[in-house]
Structure 1
Amino acid sequence: MNNPLKGIRVIDASSMVAGPMSTQILADQGAEVIKIEPPVGGDLCRFIGAMQGGVSHYFCVYNRNKHSLTLDLKQSRGREILQQLLGRADVFVHNFRPEAAKRLGLDLNTLHHDFPQMVCAAISGFGTDGPYAGRRVYDPLVQGVSGIAVSQGCADDPQLIRQLICDKVSGLYMAQAISTALFTRERCGEGQVLDMSLLDASLGFSFPEVMGDQVFITASDPAPDMSIVYKPWATADGNLAVVLLSTAEFSGWCSALECEALINDPRFADTPARLSNWQLLRDECAARVESYTTADILDRLLAQDVPAAPVNTAAQVLEDSQIHNNNNIQTVNHIDAGTVRHAKTPVCFNRCPSPQIRPAPLLGEHSEMLLSQLGYSDEDISQLFTSGVSSGNHNELQ
Structure 2
Amino acid sequence: MTLDLKQEKGREIFFRLAEKADVIIENFVPGVVKKLGVDYEAVKKVKPDIIYCHVSGFGQDGPYRDRPAFDQLIQGEAGIISYTGTRETPCKINVPITDLLASMYGAYAVLAALLRREKTGEGMEIDISLFDCAVTMMLNLMNMAIVEGMKDEELRMGTKYFLATPYEPYPAGDGKLVNVVVATEWHWKEFCKAVGLEELLDDPRFATNQQRLKHREQLERIIIEKFREKPRDDWIEILLKAGVPCGAVNTIQEVIEHPQTKHRKTVVEVDYPELGKIKLFNNPVKFSGFEVEVRRPPKLGEHTEEILKSIGLSEEEIADLRA
In angstroms, what is the RMSD of aligned CA positions? Answer: 2.1
Q: CA 1:221–1:270 in structure 2 vs 1: closer, same or farther (change >3 Å)?
A: farther
Deviation at 1:96, TM superposition (A): 0.9
**Which of these residues, 276, 280, 290, is aligned with residue 228 of structure 2?**
290
Identity of aligned pairs, percent? 33
Question: For residues 381 and 110 of structure 1, do their structure 2 counterparts lie closer, same or farther at Cα, with a shift above 3 Å needed?
Answer: closer
Per chain length, whose mean CA-contact separation is higher, i.e. which structure has more relative contact order (CA < 8 Å, sep 6+)?
Answer: 1
Determine if contact 1:294/1:310 at 8 Å carries over to the other structure: yes
Q: Does 1:314 align with 2:252?
A: yes
Deviation of the 1:290 alpha carbon = 2.3
Partner SS state of residue 122, structure 1:
strand
256-265 or 139-148, larger mean C-alpha shift = 256-265
What are the equivalent positions in structure 2 for 1:248-263 lying under 5 Å apart? 248-263=186-201
> Which blocks of at least 5 consecutive residues in structure 1 are unaligned?
1-68, 387-398
Residue equivalent to 2:80? 148
Partner of 1:16: none
C-alpha contact 1:98 1:107 (8 A) present in aligned 2 = no
| TM-score scaled by length of structure 1 | 0.74
Asked if 1:214 corresponds to 2:151, the answer is: no
Query: Residue by residue, what CA displacement relative to the aligned partner does 1:156-178 show, whole Å, maximum 9, x if unpaired?
Result: 63211101000001111111111
Structure 2: tracts of 5 or more residues without a match: 162-166
Once residues 45 and 200 of structure 2 are traced to their aligned partners in structure 1, the CA distance between those partners, rounded to angstroms, is 68
Q: Which amino acid aligns with 1:163?
A: V
- Provide the C-alpha distance between the structure 2 equivalents of 1:265 and 1:339, rounded to a whole number of angstroms: 57
Instruction: Give me the whole-angstrom Cα distance separating, in 1, the residues matched to 2:300 and 2:178.
Output: 43
Residue in 1 aligned with 2:295? 358
- The equivalences for 1:115-130 within 5 A come to 115-130=47-62
The Cα shift of 1:343 comes to 2.2
Residue 133 in 1 paired to residue 65 in 2? yes
Specify the alignment match of 1:162 in structure 2.
Answer: 94
Question: 2:168 touches 2:181 (CA, 8 Å); kept in 1?
Answer: no
Partner of 1:381: 318
Kept in 2: contact 1:126–1:198 (CA 8 A)? yes
Once the 2 structures are TM-superposed, how far is the Cα of residue 70 of structure 1 from its aligned partner?
0.7
Detail structure 1 runs of 4+ shifted over 4 Å in the superposition: 219-226
Q: Of the two, which has the highest radius of gyration?
A: 2
SS in 1 for 2:271: strand
What does 1:62-73 align with in structure 2 at a 5 Å threshold?
Answer: 69-73=1-5
**Post-superposition shift, 1:329?**
1.7
Question: What is the TM-score of this pair, normalised by structure 2?
Answer: 0.90
1:197 corresponding residue in structure 2:
129
- Matches of 1:162 and 1:119 in 2, distance apart? 32
SS at match of 1:228: coil
Distance 1:267 1:359, change over 3 A: same
* Residue 89 of structure 1: how far off its partner (Å): 0.1
Give the letter for the 2:204 counterpart.
P
Amino acid at match of 1:277: H
Letter in 1 for 2:182: L
Secondary structure, aligned partner of 2:128: strand
Q: Are residues 88 and 323 of structure 1, via their aligned partners in 2, closer, same or farther at CA, if it must alter by over 3 Å?
A: same
310-319 or 78-87: bigger deviation? 310-319
Letter of the 1:78 partner, please give it.
Answer: G
Offset, 1:221 = 6.7
In the alignment, structure 1 residue 343 sits paired with structure 2 residue 275: no
CA distance in 2, matches of 1:164, 1:212: 25
State the alpha-carbon separation in 1 of the partners of residues 39 and 209 from structure 2. Answer: 51
